[in-house]
Amino acid sequence: MELKSYQYKVIKDLEIYLAYVQQYKKTDKAFNHYWEERIGPYNPLTGEGMQHYKNTIPNAAHVCIKVPTAGGKTFIACNALHTIFNAYSSAMPKVVVWLVPWSNLLNQTVLALSDPNHPYRKKLNSLFNHRVEVYEKKDLLQGSNFNPSVVKEQLSIIVMSFGSLRAKNKEDRKVYQENGQLASFASYYRNTADLLEDVDETALINVLRSMQPVIVVDESHNAESNLSVDMLNALNPSFVLDLTATPKNNSNIVSLVPAIELKKEHMVKLPVIVYNHHDKTEVVNSALHLQRKLELLSIEQEKNGGRYIRPIVLFQAQPKIGEENITYEKLKRQLLSIGIPENQIKIKTATIDELKGEDLLSRECEVRYIITINALKEGWDCPFAYVLASLADKSSAVDVEQILGRVLRQPYVMKHSASLLNISYVLTASAKFNDTLQSIVKGLQAAGFSDRDYREIDTMREEERQRAVADPLENFLFPEQAIVESEPELDSTRISFEPENLTPLENDDIVLQEIETMAEEQNAELEAIIQQQKKQPVDEQIFEEMGDKIKRYKLSEANRSFVSDLRLPQFYLTVQQSDIFGTGKEFLSQEPLLQQFKLSNEDTKIDFEQISSDLYKVDIEEIGKSEYDARFTKIEDMMVKEPVVAYILSKPKDSQIKDIAHQLIQMIGDMYPIADQEIRVYIERILSSLNAEQLQNILIRKLSYADKIKAKIKHHADNFAEGRFNDLIKVGKIQAEPSWNFSELIVPGVLGAAISKSLYEREGLMNNFETTIITDIAALPNIAFWHRNLGRGKGFSINGYKSNHYPDFIVGTKSGKVILIETKGDDRDNSDSQAKCRLGNKWAELSGSKFSYFMVFDKKAIEGAFNADKARELIRQL
C-alpha cells in the first residue's frame, strides 16, 4: 500500500515544515515563515493569511493535518512518524503515544497497527526495519516486553484513550501510581526536570515523560479543551501531530486536503444525493428499492470482472420517546413483516450491538440493513454502506450529521463501472427540509467536506409542510381547533418492494428515476471539475479550500491581452498507446528517461573527507534553557548520545552494512522513479569498501553522509536522463508543445519589491541580485512586462531531465518575444547550474524563434550563460 498523491503531498508539507524548524530553530518562527512564504503574511484585520502559531504545548512542535473522513489519516500518520523521527536526534528513543477518543477506535487502531498482514503495519515495518512494537496501557503497566533495552532498539507505539490520561482524579489512575514493573526506567532515562512532582519516578506517566514521546492525536477535534491540553502537556512530548477533518481554533495546520482530492483517488462516494419524501413509508420504500438497484448493478459489475459489493442501508430510527415513534425495534418488526429475512437486518445502538463479530465485507455475510439511532457516528466505517434513510418525525429537522460520514467511504478505493456505485444517498421525510439540509452540511463539514458536495430534491408539498409544523402556541391556545396527527405505522400496503424478486424492475418507480437521473448528472459534473483541475497548479485546490485566507493578485490590465492567448512550450514525449490507437503524446517527466537506469551499476566514488566538521550539537538536557525550543531539531550528537551505535558495531560486518544502509535509506527518502532496492544495493556497495572507523563515523553523522550519497545518486540519475533526453530529441520523439498559460490570479506569498511593468498587481519575493537584474531589464524600452515565476508547482517549469526547473523570471518584449531568465550568483557555477543551463538553451532551441532563455551571472558566467551586462545588452535587442 503506497501513498495516494494527496497523501504524499501531506508528507512533503510536513517535511518542508520540519526543514523550516531546522532553519529557524523555533517552532513558532518556523510555522509563521512556512505560511508567509506560501500564501503571504497574516493580517488580523482582514483574516488573510494563516493565523500565527499557537504555542499550547511548550517545548514541542504541535501541528495539525486536516484530512476529510475516509482520507486515510491513520496511514498518513504511519508515514509521518518516519518523517518526524528523521528530524530527531537519533539519541532520543522512538516512542509514540497514539491517542484516540473512543474505546472502539482504540481496538481498531491496536488491531491494525499490530497485524503483520495489515497495510499499516506493513508500512511501519518497511519504514522502521521491522523493529516495531505496539502496546496498550495494560501492557505497559505490567511491563510486558517494555524496558529500556527494548525501547532503544525499536519503534514503540503505545495506543491509549483520552480518558486514560485526562480524568481529573489522578489518584485513581494507575498511570500515576508507583509501578515496580517499570523500575528499570528510573535510572536509565531519569531526568529530574522531566518528572512530575509528587508522582513516583516509576509511575507510567513519568516513564513516558522521561522519553519525551511523539504524540499522535487521532480525531483531535475531541481534544481541544483545557483538560485535554493539560493531558498532552502531562506527557512532556517532543512533537504532537493532530489528525482531524475539522481543526479547531487552536490548531496549527501545516497541511490540508481538499475533499475533491479524495474523489480523484476514489476514496469517497461523492456527491451525496439528498431526496426528501412525503412521509416515512416512502423513505423506507425508496431505501429498499435503491438498495436492490445498487445490488443488481454490483452483481452485473462483478460478472464483468468487478469486485464484490453488497450495498447496505443505514436506517436512522427515532429515539424511543413515544409509543408512536418509529423506534429501532418497531422498524425491525415492520421490515420483517414485508418478508425481509431476519439475517439481513441488524440493530446497532448504545445498548444493542448485533454487528459484533460480523464481517460486513465478507461474501458470506447477509446483512443489507442496519438500524441505528446515532451509534454509528465516529470510529465505524463500512464501505458497503451506501444509503442513509432517516425516519425522524416529519415535523423535525432530520439530525443526520452524526452518522452521515459513515456512508462516504468508497469500496475498494476504486472507481466502479456503474456510476451509481460511486455516489452516496440520503433519504428523508422532513417538513423542515431546509433545516435538514443545514444538518447535512454540518455532517459534511464534520467529515471535512462542504455544501458543494451534496445535491437535493424536495418533493414535499407546501400544505403538508405547514400541517406538519403547525404553530405550537396556536395549538395550545385553541386546542379544540388543533388537528392532532400522530405518527402512523409504516403502511406496508404502499411498499412495493418484493424481497424474493431478484430480477430487475421493468420500470423503476418515479422516485428512483429522479434519484438516478440526478446522481448521473451530478457525478458527470463532478468528473468534469476533476478533469479541469488536472490543468491547475498543484496548490490551487488547497488555496480554494482556504477561501478568504488567501490573498490573490490579478493580472495587470495593460498586459492582459498580451498573455491571454500565450502558451509557453513544454516538452512532450511521443509514446505508443496501442497497436490499434497508434502513438500519442504525454507530458515529459524524468520517469520514462530513467526506465533503463541501473544505479547499482554506477560508480561509488564519493569524497567523504569533505564532510562538514563544524556540525553543531545541543544536549537534550539544555533544550528549554536556550533559544532551541524544538526538541526534534536534527543534532549530530557525540557517540555518547548514540546508545545504538555500539549495538550495531558489535554485529558481523555484513549485518552492520545492512543496518546502516537501512538507516541511510530512511534519511535519503523517496527518490522515485529510482527503486528503493536499487538505492539499497548502491549504498551497500559504498559501505562494503569502508573500514570499521568509517562505519562508526557514519553512524555518528548519518545526516551528513546521507546528504552526500543522495547528491551522488541524483548526479548519476540526472546524467543518465540527460543522455536519454538528447537521444530521444535526435530521433524526433521529444517535441516542445504549447502548454502552460498564465493564471488570472496568483498567490505569490511574501511580496517582492514593486517594480514597474510587472505582469501582476504584485510579484513574489526576490533576493538582492534578482531584484537588481529585473530592475535593470524592466527599465529597457523594449520590455512589455516581467513576472516573478513561482516555484513548487505554482509556476512554469521546464520539464525534462532535470526534475522541475523553474526559471526565476518570465519577460515579454513589445515585439512579442518571451524570455526566460534564471539568475545565479557567481558562487553557483556548479554542475546543477550547468545542467539547468543546457536544458534551458535546448528548450529555447526547440520552442522556436519567439522564445529565448538566459542564465545570468553577475560577472563570471559558465558556458552557455551570460554575465549581467551581456544579458541586458542582448535582451535590449529582442
pLDDT at 759: 95
pLDDT at 452: 57
pLDDT at 486 over 50: no
3-state secondary structure 318-379: CCCCCCCCCCHHHHHHHHHHCCCCHHHEEEECCCCECCCCCCCCCCCCCCCEEEECCCCCCC
Q: For residues 746 and 795, what is the distance between their CA atoms, to the nearest angstrom?
A: 9
pLDDT at 101 over 70: yes
Complete edge-to-edge strand list for the sheet that includes strand 783-788: 783-788, 809-813, 818-824, 851-857, 866-867
Closest listed residue to residue 572, CA positions, set 792, 797, 726, 799: 799
pLDDT tens across 364-377, in order? 999 999 988 766 66
- Band (pLDDT 50/70/90 cuts) for residue 851 is very high
Write the DSSP symbol of residue 594.
T
| Mean per-residue pLDDT of the chain | 81
Exposure string over 570-582, b if 16+ CB within 10 A, otherwise e: bbbbeeeeeeeee
Number of Cβ within a 10 Å radius of residue 778: 16
Q: Which amino acid is at 864?
A: G
- Band (pLDDT 50/70/90 cuts) for residue 818 is very high
Burial (CB < 10 A; 0-12, 13-18, 19+), residue 145, is exposed
pLDDT tens across 859-870, in order? 888 899 999 999
| One-character DSSP codes across 133-155 | EEEEHHHHHTTTT-SHHHHTTSE
- Band (pLDDT 50/70/90 cuts) for residue 579 is low
- Average pLDDT in the 711-723 region? 91
- Band (pLDDT 50/70/90 cuts) for residue 167 is low
- Band (pLDDT 50/70/90 cuts) for residue 97 is very high
E strand or H helix at 388, and its extent? Answer: strand 385-390
pLDDT tens across 46-65, in order? 888 889 999 888 888 999 99
Q: Which amino acid is at 67?
A: V
pLDDT tens across 64-92, in order? 998 887 888 999 999 999 999 888 766 67
Closest listed residue to residue 156, CA positions, set 100, 87, 228, 208: 208
Burial (CB < 10 A; 0-12, 13-18, 19+), residue 815, is exposed
Return the minimum-mean-pLDDT range out of 91-95, 437-441, 778-782: 437-441
Complete edge-to-edge strand list for the sheet that includes strand 424-428: 345-348, 369-372, 312-316, 385-390, 424-428, 272-276, 454-458
Give the angle 422-428-429 at the CA atoms, nearest 5°. Answer: 155
99 against 401, higher pLDDT: 99
Q: For residues 684 and 709, what is the distance between their CA atoms, to the nearest angstrom?
A: 11
- Average pLDDT in the 346-362 region? 86
Grid cell locating 122: 506493513
Grid cell locating 267: 476514496
pLDDT tens across 730-773, in order? 999 999 999 898 988 888 888 999 999 999 999 999 999 999 99
- Band (pLDDT 50/70/90 cuts) for residue 820 is very high
pLDDT at 480: 43
Q: For residues 394 and 392, what is the distance between their CA atoms, to the nearest angstrom?
A: 6
Return the minimum-mean-pLDDT range out of 197-201, 361-365, 607-611: 607-611
pLDDT tens across 11-46, in order? 999 999 998 998 888 899 999 999 998 888 998 888
Grid cell locating 778: 524592466
Closest listed residue to residue 368, CA positions, set 345, 386, 387: 345
pLDDT at 611 over 90: no
Give the angle 205-61-88 at the CA atoms, nearest 5°. Answer: 80
pLDDT at 636: 45
Q: Which amino acid is at 14?
A: L
pLDDT at 353: 85
pLDDT at 147 over 50: yes
pLDDT tens across 504-563, in order? 555 567 888 888 888 888 888 888 877 776 666 556 667 766 777 788 899 998 888 889
pLDDT tens across 661-684, in order? 887 887 787 787 888 888 989 999
Grid cell locating 317: 430510527
pLDDT at 156: 93
How much of the chain, in percent, has pLDDT values that exceed 70?
Answer: 79
pLDDT tens across 108-121, in order? 899 999 999 999 99
pLDDT at 857 over 90: yes
Q: For residues 350 and 286, what is the distance between their CA atoms, to the nearest angstrom?
A: 27
Number of Cβ within a 10 Å radius of residue 36: 17
Place of cell 527503486: 675
Longest Cα–Cα distance of the chain, Å, equals 100
Q: Is omega for the bond preceding 93 within 30 degrees of 0, making it cis?
A: no
Grid cell locating 533: 483541475
